[in-house]
Amino acid sequence: MKNASRWLVLALTFCAAAAGFLIRRQQLATELMSDGSLAEGSTLHVLLTVLAGILFVGLIAFLYPLPKKESWQQVFPAAIVPNLLLLLSAAGLIVGNVILWRSGSANVVVTQSPEVSKAFAALLPPLGVVSAICFAGFAVLRIMGKKPSPLLFMIASLYLIVRLIVCFQVWNTDPSIHDYAFQLLAAICCMLGCFQLAGFSFDRGHLRMCLFWTLSATAFCAFTAADTLHAGVLSNTVINASLLLAMATCSACLLLTDAPLPEPETGEAQKEAAVTEEAEETVAEEAE
């Protein structure tokens, strides 16, 4: 049942992401007015709400049987394909944030604290580039077979927090939640997914909780793709697609990687380690 749960989770997420994108695209084209209100007789918002509810309930049900994993060695493979996908998502984040910086679209002041708003908006593109470098560094370290630092995903989480603040300043002025609901959910899930991913590098990961957020982020980024394409803002389209790819790749690694923890040292290796430790203690005592 554990293996079946993995594929059920993947199938549920893929179907929800694809269906959500198509329904949201149709809603934006036919049922959502320019002022954010719904056209008379609209029903697609109900379908989207039900779809999101099915996704949440299904993820909780199918993730429960999965075995616990806590260490980075159990979930982050050194395989080429997933790490190349992370490198691709990092490249997309760099491109998207460079476009954002050059367009100046993040410099709109919409709060009662204009200096704070300007500071966050100015910080967003360079922090996005740093976050992309962290994704790339993580992928390179895994390809080399080395342990990734927890700081890499923690820095990415910081970028996503700042991005959420900047975006919400704009969304908060919109009287209709129908305009930004799924963008908000995608931003929150990406932020919490990255935060949970950092825990595995501390050997304190929570597989089910992490998968819940990364899979939800994958689905809602797919929903949001319809919004970014409809709005025609290139930077948002590229950044959202990059985050979707990163969250989907990490979700697949968490679900499908079965690498066991390395066995503790035994035999000659253990004896050598004990001798070395004893010698270090002797030197420390003599120094005292």
DSSP string, 151-201: HHHHHHHHHHHHHHHHHHHHHTT-S-GGGTHHHHHHHHHHHHHHHHHHHHH
pLDDT, residue 286, reads 55
Q: Which residues, other chains included, contact 161 with Cβ-Cβ below 8 Å and sequence gap of 6+?
A: 191
pLDDT, residue 178, reads 87
> What is the C-alpha separation between 144 and 138, in angstroms, rounded?
10
> What is the C-alpha separation between 190 and 48, in angstroms, rounded?
19
Which residues share a beta bridge with 32? 38
Tell me the Cα Rg of the chain: 22
Which residues share a beta bridge with 38? 32
pLDDT, residue 116, reads 76
Helix orientation angle between 114-143 and 150-171, rounded to the nearest 10 degrees: 150
pLDDT, residue 115, reads 76
84 CA to centre of own chain: 16
pLDDT, residue 260, reads 67
Structure token digits, residue 281 = 């203690």
> What is the C-alpha separation between 248 and 121, in angstroms, rounded?
27
pTM of the predicted model as reported, rounded to 2 decimal places: 0.86
269 CB-contact burial (10 Å; exposed 0-12 / middle 13-18 / buried 19+):
exposed
> What is the C-alpha separation between 76 and 201, in angstroms, rounded?
9
**What are the CA-CA distances from residue 168 to residues 91, 115, 160, 165, 173 (Å)?**
25, 16, 12, 5, 9
pLDDT, residue 34, reads 81
> What is the C-alpha separation between 2 and 260, in angstroms, rounded?
16
Query: What number of CA atoms fall less than 13 Å from residue 158's CA on the CB side?
Result: 16
Helix orientation angle between 44-63 and 2-30, rounded to the nearest 10 degrees: 170
pLDDT, residue 1, reads 45
Residues of the chain scoring pLDDT < 70: 1-2, 105-113, 259-288
Type of residue found at 278: E
Query: What number of CA atoms fall less than 13 Å from residue 68's CA on the CB side?
Result: 5
pLDDT, residue 262, reads 60
> What is the C-alpha separation between 197 and 86, in angstroms, rounded?
14
Residues 204/74, Cβ–Cβ less than 8 Å = no
Give, as one character, the DSSP assignment of residue 39.
Answer: P
